[in-house]
A and B are shown apart, each in its own frame.
Chain A
Amino acid sequence: DAGVIQSPRHEVTEMGQEVTLRCKPISGHDYLFWYRQTMMRGLELLIYFNNNVPIDDSGMPEDRFSAKMPNASFSTLKIQPSEPRDSAVYFCASSDLGHRNYGYTFGSGTRLTVV
């Protein structure tokens, strides 16, 4: 199993530009999570999906952020327009809660820098 795959690993963009982060969860996992990690705020849950349906997006900081999961094997997190304060590491994680593999499996993250 290749694990949770995120792309790109690093992204540098200018303020005001659109940024799209991508995630491929582990096959068979029915939950997908987007987290943001910063030194100041630690790990923050942004949004999570169950069976491709958004369940809780209360952690999404503002309307500039949006997330989609068009199918069970792909999700995107989009920031439009991006701002310097969005600079962080964004993690995608998936989970299989219907079986014995509890707990999340995290991807390696996307380090976003907005200049």
Chain B
Amino acid sequence: AQSVTQPDIHITVSEGASLELRCNYSYGATPYLFWYVQSPGQGLQLLLKYFSGDTLVQGIKGFEAEFKRSQSSFNLRKPSVHWSDAAEYFCAVATSKTSYDKVIFGPGTSLSVIP
């Protein structure tokens, strides 16, 4: 069965430091991958998505993610974190090309930013 894991439950970084959030998926075919962010009391907001093509994907708010098929990973990165980036981050995978409307979400990684 398809699955998404986010190995880090919680990460703390200093403001201005770089960030990498890990995401691994289990799926036999080409995945459709997403990163979402959830600020406290808010719904999820799409940061970026990967469907095909360039494996380095740029998103909003200065985030990027790299798809590595050999590692079944889709890690999220940001070169310099801002205090407003403190939130919950969810990696997600769509299960097939014909049903990418149904998406499996990872458990989430909570990010804290130290001023």
Contact = CB atoms under 8 A, between A and B. Distances in A.
Contacts of B45: 106
A105 interface: yes
Interface in A86-115: 91, 93, 95, 97, 102-109
A92 to B, nearest CB: 8
B100 A108 contact: no
Interface stretch (A13-21, A41-49, A70-78): A41-49
Nearest to A59: B102
Interface residues of B, number: 20
A69 interface: no
Contacts of B114: none
Given A42-B107, A102-B51, A103-B34, A48 B102 contact: yes
Nearest to A44: B105
A64 B27 CA distance: 33
B115 interface: no
B41 A104 contact: no
B31 interface: no
Contact of B43 (A31, A48, A95, A107): A107
Interface of A: 4, 31, 42-43, 45, 48, 50, 56, 91, 93, 95, 97, 102-109
Given A102-B49, A106-B45, 19 more contacts: A42-B106, A42-B107, A42-B108, A45-B102, A45-B103, A48-B102, A50-B101, A91-B43, A93-B43, A93-B44, A97-B101, A102-B51, A103-B34, A103-B46, A104-B44, A104-B46, A104-B103, A105-B46, A109-B43
Interface of B: 32, 34, 36, 41-46, 49, 51, 90, 100-103, 105-108
15 contacts: A42-B105, A42-B107, A42-B108, A43-B90, A48-B101, A50-B101, A93-B44, A97-B100, A102-B100, A103-B34, A103-B49, A104-B46, A106-B43, A108-B41, A108-B43
